[in-house]
């Protein structure tokens, strides 16, 4: 497990770890992989692999579902964001195993997590 993955594995410091991880990621990419740097903020990058996968319902049944089954959005206001504005725990491609099952934190943008 590398340092970033370890940092991100700790839920309690995730808020802090994500900006740190982004800064570290930029540094690491800048030093070791100037040619293959993938732009994680570009939705096209994500859609290369996720265009044809079906989106399931949220784990929390009280939460309104953000995506439509085909990967679109139920709420128009969500369309303008980049995938990583919500999936901020996706910091590497391929993703490390421990991102599977991570949840989007609605309160990054909403005062309270919306309920149905």
Given 25, 90, 92, 96, the residue binding ligand HEC (CB under 6 A) = 90
Could you tell me which residues come within 8 angstroms of residue 31 by beta carbon, excluding any fewer than 6 positions away? Answer: none
We find the least distance from the C-beta atom of residue 88 to ligand HEC, in angstroms, to be 8
Given 6, 10, 15, 50, the residue binding ligand HEC (CB under 6 A) = 50
- Does 32 engage in binding with ligand HEC (CB under 6 A)? no
- Does 69 engage in binding with ligand HEC (CB under 6 A)? no
Q: Give the range of 2-10, 11-19, 22-30, 51-59 binding ligand HEC by CB under 6 A.
A: 51-59
Closest CB to ligand HEC among residues 13, 93 = 93
Phi, psi of 85 (to 5 degrees): -65, -35
- Does 43 engage in binding with ligand HEC (CB under 6 A)? yes
Q: Are 64 and 116 in contact (CB under 8 A)?
A: yes
Could you tell me which residues come within 8 angstroms of residue 63 by beta carbon, excluding any fewer than 6 positions away? Answer: 106, 113, 114, 115, 116
Instruction: State the Cα–Cα distance between residues 53 and 60, nearest whole angstrom.
Output: 20
Instruction: State the Cα–Cα distance between residues 75 and 38, nearest whole angstrom.
Output: 28
Q: Which residues pair with 73 in a beta bridge?
A: 67
Q: Which residues bind ligand HEC (CB under 6 A)?
A: 40, 43, 45-50, 53, 55-56, 58, 63-67, 75, 77-78, 81, 83-87, 90, 93-95, 99-102, 104, 106, 108-110, 114
């Amino acid at each position: 497990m590398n340092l970033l993955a370890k940092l991100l594995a700790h839920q309690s410091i995730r808020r802090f770890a994500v900006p740190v991880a982004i800064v570290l990621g930029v540094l690491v990419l800048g030093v070791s992989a100037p040619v293959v740097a993938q732009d994680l903020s570009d939705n096209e990058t994500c859609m290369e692999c996720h265009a044809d996968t079906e989106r399931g319902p949220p784990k929390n049944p009280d939460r309104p579902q953000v995506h439509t089954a085909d990967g679109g959005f139920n709420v128009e206001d969500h369309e303008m964001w980049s995938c990583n504005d919500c999936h901020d725990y996706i910091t590497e491609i391929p993703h490390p195993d421990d991102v599977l099952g991570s949840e989007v934190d609605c309160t990054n943008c909403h005062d309270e997590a919306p309920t149905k």
